[in-house]
A and B are shown apart, each in its own frame.
Chain A
């Protein structure tokens, strides 16, 4: 598994939100994106996910160009900030609907995934009754369901209580695999030190430094 960012720039409303980024992500590693608010972390993740396209440059996933050869990476899970699900569905039902779009996910895996993030798959509460922390956990479950080869998580421990943080932390570390790339954006420096194998410092839309933890 390999993600290559080649001369990536993204201009939005005349602002350079990403500027001439060249970087290669390889499997078996957790990458941590760090930097101030607005430095381009989230934008970079959206770009890798195929949700936005670069103004110039290209994103190659295993040598396939995103937006040209493929619309989205073949195997990806994403957690965006404030994940949105269907309000009138339970967590299990929400994931079941998404699992229906994937070939390799059965009901047992949905249950296992919910349990792994600390949610009860038998919980009959609808999504609109979920607390912020539960919503976040469901977002993580949606991202890791089906064991994707690329996992992108934007602020995964947002709104999660202390016990939950420990669960999520162990879960993320447990997902590390030589064929899997995990990229995390997180403000919590201490958490990032624990989670990431490599930290990528971003500033003003550029990658300024790579640090091996």
Chain B
């Protein structure tokens, strides 16, 4: 039964809006062009260029939590590309579930006689959207790298990374680096999307988008192992020499926190939806 709901959701909530996903390609082109331009000197000097994984590192580099110090000239800056990636993801989710709940999805719910099917299908649809979205992002990274450098080598020498970032991530090891740069941002995206559809049950889509944008800003400003988006910022897996109070996050803890977050939100969303007026009284 659930597969019929999921088939419908993927058709109507993903494939129908496939054109929207061109935004992912645009973000990739912008972020990759920016890092290419900012590191042009080092690339020339070392004769190296960024690989697709390193473009991903740049996209999910993030930033350390901001430490306010009145005597410091440091300003709070937002990692533009990172925020755009998650904002556009929120746009992909949009208000599809609200429209479906008041349209064809309502008929499906009545015919199936279960609200549970509808809700679980929407959560699985969020997973599908995220897999497609981040999959496309990585494909775009590879395509950009191939078009720009004629090479899609997995990982380059570390001189370029060392010079650009100040450290080379070498102590992390490749499997963990891939986990942190590929899997964790995907998990964070799933948490964000399920949170978004849960909020859509309560608020309208504009309010929901505003809340998501607020969460992204807060995630850039503050740091905690309980803030899901911390796990989508590579830099936060490393300690900060200039801020001894900062506690680096860990991928294992991240998987546990995000896993619990996903399950909790699926259950919480259902609790809300179970008692919700299906035809909105907004």
Q: A residues engaging B (CB < 8 A)? A: 12-13, 46, 49-53, 67, 70-74, 76, 78, 80, 84-86, 88, 94, 97-98, 100-102, 142, 146
Is B108 in contact with A74, judged by CB distance below 8 angstroms? no
Task: List the 4 closest A-B pairs by CB distance, nearest first.
Answer: A84-B103, A52-B277, A101-B111, A51-B278
Dominant secondary structure of chain B at its interface with chain A: helix
The CA of A71 and the CA of B275, in the complex, are separated in Å by 10
Is A101 in contact with B279, judged by CB distance below 8 angstroms? no
Chain A residue numbers with a CB within 8 Å of B112 are 101
The CA of A49 and the CA of B111, in the complex, are separated in Å by 11
Q: B residues engaging A (CB < 8 A)? A: 1, 4, 8, 11-12, 16, 102-104, 106-116, 274-275, 277-279, 281
Dominant secondary structure of chain A at its interface with chain B: loop
**A12-B281, A71-B115, A84-B102 as given contacts; A98 in contact with B275, CB under 8 Å:** no
Is A67 in contact with B275, judged by CB distance below 8 angstroms? yes
Is A101 in contact with B103, judged by CB distance below 8 angstroms? no
The CA of A4 and the CA of B55, in the complex, are separated in Å by 63
Contact of B104 among A51, A67, A86 (CB under 8 A): A86
Is B281 in contact with A52, judged by CB distance below 8 angstroms? yes
The CA of A71 and the CA of B106, in the complex, are separated in Å by 13
Is A84 in contact with B104, judged by CB distance below 8 angstroms? yes
Is A70 in contact with B108, judged by CB distance below 8 angstroms? no
Chain B residue numbers with a CB within 8 Å of A12 are 281
Query: Closest chain B residue to A127 by CB distance?
Result: B104
Distance of B121 from chain A, by nearest CB (Å): 12
Is A85 in contact with B104, judged by CB distance below 8 angstroms? yes
Distance of B104 from chain A, by nearest CB (Å): 6
Distance of B182 from chain A, by nearest CB (Å): 34
Besides A52-B281, A97-B4, 13 other CB < 8 A contacts?
A12-B281, A51-B278, A51-B279, A52-B279, A71-B115, A72-B109, A72-B114, A78-B107, A84-B102, A84-B103, A97-B108, A98-B108, A101-B1
Query: Closest chain A residue to B118 by CB distance?
Result: A71
* 12 A–B pairs (Cβ distance < 8 Å), ordered by A: A52-B277, A52-B278, A52-B279, A53-B275, A67-B275, A78-B110, A84-B103, A86-B11, A88-B16, A94-B104, A101-B4, A142-B107
Query: Closest chain A residue to B105 by CB distance?
Result: A84
